Amino acid sequence: MDVQKMLLHRAAKPLLFALSLVPLAWLVYAAVTDQLGANPAEALIRDLGDWTLRFLCLVLAVTPLRIATGTPALARFRRMLGLFVFFYGVLHLLAYAWFDMGLDVGEIVHDIAKRPFILVGTLALLLLAVLAATSPHRAIRWLGAARWRALHRSVYVVAVLGILHFFWMRAGKNDFAEVLWYGALLAGLLGWRIRHGWRQRHKKYHPMP
């Protein structure tokens, strides 16, 4: 099986797009058929946040997987996955604004300022908005490749803010199992990136004779 050829197939991106919408389709179906438990609004808000984190983990895993498996074609899916992180993050915020705050802008602003975990989550989403807005190829030409790469490294800041948001949200219920799992995964991916970057710089300044 030629994985590289499969990843380059013209149907690969539409298939990934459809698969990325499956979680949303399931949540809509579960909401309509009353399968979200005793508090469906809370379940919907929580699940949309969980899927935001999961897609963030997928985005951060693309480069390590690409290098480890020798499949450069994986890189062509990173932008789409990154946009789905933003998509699910926006839905997470909208669900909170609608079900918890009744779309009252004044109450939403007051709640964001009052509760640190919501403030941190909002900051993460604002950063994601910047990354989503600068994801097109024309943004690379406009910013310059070096500046664009530096800006998009802030995805790791988003990861830290996302985990902090998740931690504070679960702290009230003393439920840290999932937080530890996501934290360990994101720490591993960040550690890989730091190590890989250090090795690349070492090779650049200390080439093999």
Name the pLDDT band for 203 (thresholds 50, 70, 90). low
34-48, 176-190, 192-206 — which is least confidently predicted? 192-206
Side chain identity at residue 44, one-letter code: L
Position 60 pLDDT exceeds 50: yes
For the four alpha carbons of 107, 108, 110 and 114, in that order, the dihedral sign comes to positive
What percent of the chain stands above pLDDT 70? Answer: 92
Q: pTM for this structure?
A: 0.89
**Average pLDDT taken over every residue of the chain:** 87
d(CA 64, CA 78): 12
Q: In the chain, where are the structural domains located?
A: 3-205
Q: Is the per-residue pLDDT at 170 higher than 80?
A: no
